């Protein structure tokens, strides 16, 4: 199974909740980037390790994360 996780980077407020719940530890805040609101957005560091559990999407208070399974 393959997974694809996408983040609406411009709406991310960098709260880090998604980082804390990822069982594989592959979601992280991009500390070298800022979005248009001035926050460090979250992203996936290694998509090949994603198991598409959608924990990140479920905990996101702004619903900016989409998880797809192939």
- Structure confidence by residue, pLDDT tens digits, 18-41: 999 999 999 999 999 999 999 999
Residues 6 and 66: beta-carbon distance below 8 Å: yes
Question: Hey, which CATH number is domain 3-69, 3.60.15.10, 3.30.70.20, 3.40.1190.10, 3.30.70.3270?
Answer: 3.30.70.20
**What is the spatial distance between Cα 3 and Cα 70, in angstroms, rounded to a whole number?**
6
In this structure, what are the phi and psi dihedrals at residue 32, rounded to the nearest 5 degrees? -95, 0
Domain positions in the chain: 3-69
pLDDT for 1 equals 76
Overall pTM surpassing 0.85 (yes/no):
yes
């Amino acid at each position: 199974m393959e997974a694809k996780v996408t983040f609406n980077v411009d709406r991310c407020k960098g709260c880090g909740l998604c980082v804390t719940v990822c069982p594989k530890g592959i979601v992280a805040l991009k500390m070298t980037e800022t979005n248009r609101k001035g926050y460090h957005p979250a992203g996936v560091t290694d998509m090949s390790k994603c198991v598409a559990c959608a924990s990140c999407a479920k905990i996101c208070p702004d619903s900016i994360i989409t998880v797809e399974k192939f």
